[in-house]
């Protein structure tokens, strides 16, 4: 079963010196039983990718010009108030 699909995720930040393109077109999938590691040099966007999937990017400075993701968390691992089968959608500004 596919637990996570991320397609063309973009996360940008508006800063005083312009737009910071922290994540710019990331796609990957994660199947049940697999482990996935995001590896890369400092500031390449690993943490911002994770924050984006958890919907923790704070608008209006942080926003998603594009991106679609589907996150399926097994029922047993969900907080009681979030026990639907599938969450996710379009990451939009």
Ligand X SMILES: Nc1ncnc2c1ncn2[C@@H]1O[C@H](COP(=O)(O)OP(=O)(O)OP(=O)(O)O)[C@@H](O)[C@H]1O
> Which residues sit at the interface with ligand X, rule CB under 6 A?
13, 15, 20, 22, 40, 42-48, 62
Residues near Mg ion (CB under 5 A) are 46-47
* Alpha-carbon distance values, 89 to 8, 37, 42, 46, 47 (Å): 12, 22, 28, 20, 20
Tokens of 73: 């968390």
Q: How far is residue 62's CA from residue 46's CA, in Å, rounded to a whole number?
A: 15
Cβ-proximal residue to Mg ion, closest one: 47
How far apart are CB 47 and ligand X at their closest, in Å?
Answer: 3
Considering all CA atoms of the chain, what is the largest pairwise distance in Å, rounded to the nearest integer? 44
Closest CB to ligand X among residues 27, 47 = 47
48 binds, among ligand X, Mg ion, none (CB under 5 to 8 A by kind): ligand X
Could you identify the residue written with the tokens 């690993």? Answer: 46
56 binds, among ligand X, Mg ion, none (CB under 5 to 8 A by kind): none
63 binds, among ligand X, Mg ion, none (CB under 5 to 8 A by kind): none
């Amino acid at each position: 079963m596919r637990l996570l699909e991320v397609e063309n995720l973009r996360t940008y930040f508006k800063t005083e010196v312009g737009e910071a393109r922290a994540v710019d077109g990331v796609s990957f999938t994660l199947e049940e039983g697999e482990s996935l590691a995001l590896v890369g040099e400092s500031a390449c966007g690993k943490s911002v990718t994770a924050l984006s999937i958890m919907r923790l990017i704070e608008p209006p400075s942080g926003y998603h010009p594009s991106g679609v993701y589907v996150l399926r968390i097994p029922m047993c691992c969900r907080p009681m108030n979030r026990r639907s089968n599938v969450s996710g959608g379009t990451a939009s500004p």
